[in-house]
Structure 1
């Protein structure tokens, strides 16, 4: 007899030559409503009415996102009442493992997006008893890691074409919900919530700077590349500068705000490679220039410098609010 728990804990095996781990990750996480539902689930919310009460979301959108997350193994539906029918949605090992991604998003938006600090949950490290910010470190050498410290190269399953989600990604219209877009992860979704935007950001982290290089690598229409570059400059994650040797060339470089998004990228990549396994091998290989090892990122507490584990983190809705249930899992 097959143990259903083992099946639930197992990664998804991808087809050879198909969408790789990056594409699957973007297809799941590149949607603001999905991130918000997962945020609620990781802090203990499990029932439909609770999600509706906590989020500015319509019934149709919530139903669709819960179904999608259940199909992807991110939530597990349990019927707790039959007349009338009532179900709750429990987090799974796959969704618990997202805690570094969510912490990284919260920390980036708190630091870099105006007026977000008061809206985002406070992260408390139960081990040392302090509120904290997560620090990304290299597991091999223990040093903190920034975008400048890391080299990236395509792995066996890595190409731009295979890194695009299989389903079309789009911006939601007002018809997607009673209140239109949620607007609760605004800058993150500008980067993450559109396949071309996320691909362009990935290209910037890999060192591309020229318009023609972005267009060639992504295989995207020039007008679309121009639109994304303009949006990223307006957001402040890229800045346009003239080439010192060619005044007719404009180059696009990551800003401090753009480079600070790197922990979100790394945490998302690590989650995707663990849970979506291509037979050829990983989509992207990161190496830590400082020690020469393949980068396996760990997240530590900036107060005590001890490694973080999801079960040691408490999440509070605000500095004044009470503790919500812990939503993480051991690493």
Structure 2
């Protein structure tokens, strides 16, 4: 979306109380344990003991994340035994529909992150029988798209500060906003595991580049802003570029690695608008000028070109169990 420029005058829109779909959606899904619980549930896990066996987290953290996902309607807690009382956690339609986000995250990590503390197996497309990478396409014209191909503007409920992700859980991040050493999604969490990092990357896609503009538009404290920008540069998401008009000034621009994270952002935006959107309208409106339509993203297989569904994707489970098939 870099060709769009909703910040042309860099004015700050009036702040409205509350949050919008972007704030709620990115806040809820920007937590590593929640993402991995959803991934395991898509792979068919449903019992507390199964989650506990495959995630190196405490009972308190696991219980907290499951309670959050139940409260937010992504998972339903069902009792399957009264004596003794035992429950299972089953995905709702809202939870099942996160598979494009998780697929995009996995594809980006495989392509751009060279080291993982845990095994990161390839994704396999059952329909064509090949390992694949997801490709984001326009649902109207079916052409592959990148952020550069799209135009974006704030919708009726949009705004810079309204769109900063909510903090629904305590995030797993290092002191500089980078992921901890044993993170499953190290660079994804560097982007989405901190609310300010997520907001900064989103603003960079909307052509905000200067330190003062990030600070003014988002309302982030300067010390924290410097820390998050430094962390994103260390991860190779952003880079400092000297301006031609003021060589003593630096701008922060997305690298190719940073631009490549766009499918994760696009699928999260669509999920957020569908499931936690406002009746007053979308937070952001994205169009594909090449075909003139409102943008709706569709993931396809890079090997056969067919539209992906969750039921056709095979993944290795985490961290070391045999691969199974996610639900559609």
Output the TM-score relative to the length of structure 2: 0.88
Q: Report deviation, 1:239.
A: 0.6
Q: Would the aligned equivalents of 1:125 and 1:132 in 2 still touch at CA under 8 Å? A: yes
Q: Would the aligned equivalents of 2:26 and 2:166 in 1 still touch at CA under 8 Å? A: no
How many residue pairs were aligned?
307
Deviates more, 1:23-32 or 1:260-269: 23-32
Deviates more, 1:237-246 or 1:117-126: 117-126
Q: Would the aligned equivalents of 2:44 and 2:327 in 1 still touch at CA under 8 Å? A: no
Q: Would the aligned equivalents of 1:111 and 1:117 in 2 still touch at CA under 8 Å? A: no
- Alpha-carbon separation, structure 2, partners of 1:166 and 1:205: 19
Partner residue, 2:217: 217
Q: Report deviation, 1:133.
A: 0.9
- Alpha-carbon separation, structure 2, partners of 1:169 and 1:65: 8
Q: Report deviation, 1:71.
A: 0.7
- Alpha-carbon separation, structure 2, partners of 1:209 and 1:314: 39
Structure 1 residues 117 and 143 mapped into 2: Cα distance closer, same or farther (>3 Å)?
farther
Q: Report deviation, 1:116.
A: 3.4
Partner residue, 2:48: 48
Q: Aligned-pair RMSD on alpha carbons? A: 2.2
Q: Would the aligned equivalents of 2:118 and 2:184 in 1 still touch at CA under 8 Å? A: no
Partner residue, 1:122: 122
Stretches of 4+ aligned residues off by more than 6 angstroms: none
Q: Would the aligned equivalents of 1:46 and 1:89 in 2 still touch at CA under 8 Å? A: yes
Partner residue, 2:304: 304
Equivalent positions of 1:100-139 (< 5 A) are 100-116=100-116, 119-139=119-139
Q: Report deviation, 1:172.
A: 4.1
1:251-277: per-residue Cα shift (whole Å, max 9, x none)?
111101000000000000001101112
Deviates more, 1:36-45 or 1:287-296: 287-296
Determine whether 1:155 maps to 2:148. no
- Alpha-carbon separation, structure 1, partners of 2:187 and 2:323: 27
Q: Report deviation, 1:314.
A: 2.2
Equivalent positions of 1:129-278 (< 5 A) are 129-167=129-167, 170-172=170-172, 183-278=183-278
Structure 1 residues 169 and 227 mapped into 2: Cα distance closer, same or farther (>3 Å)?
farther
Q: Report deviation, 1:280.
A: 1.4
- Alpha-carbon separation, structure 1, partners of 2:316 and 2:209: 40
Q: Report deviation, 1:74.
A: 0.7
Which runs of 5 or more residues in structure 2 are unaligned?
1-15, 175-179
Q: Would the aligned equivalents of 2:310 and 2:327 in 1 still touch at CA under 8 Å? A: yes
- Alpha-carbon separation, structure 2, partners of 1:209 and 1:248: 15
Partner residue, 1:327: 326
1:120-144: per-residue Cα shift (whole Å, max 9, x none)?
2432212212221110001121110
1:277-309: per-residue Cα shift (whole Å, max 9, x none)?
212100011112322321111000111101111
Q: 2:269 is paired with a residue of what secondary structure?
A: helix
Structure 1 residues 264 and 27 mapped into 2: Cα distance closer, same or farther (>3 Å)?
same
- Alpha-carbon separation, structure 1, partners of 2:182 and 2:63: 16
1:64-118: per-residue Cα shift (whole Å, max 9, x none)?
1111101111111111122222111011111110111000000111111122397
Determine whether 1:290 maps to 2:290. yes
Q: Would the aligned equivalents of 2:165 and 2:199 in 1 still touch at CA under 8 Å? A: no
Q: Would the aligned equivalents of 1:57 and 1:182 in 2 still touch at CA under 8 Å? A: no
Output the TM-score relative to the length of structure 1: 0.87
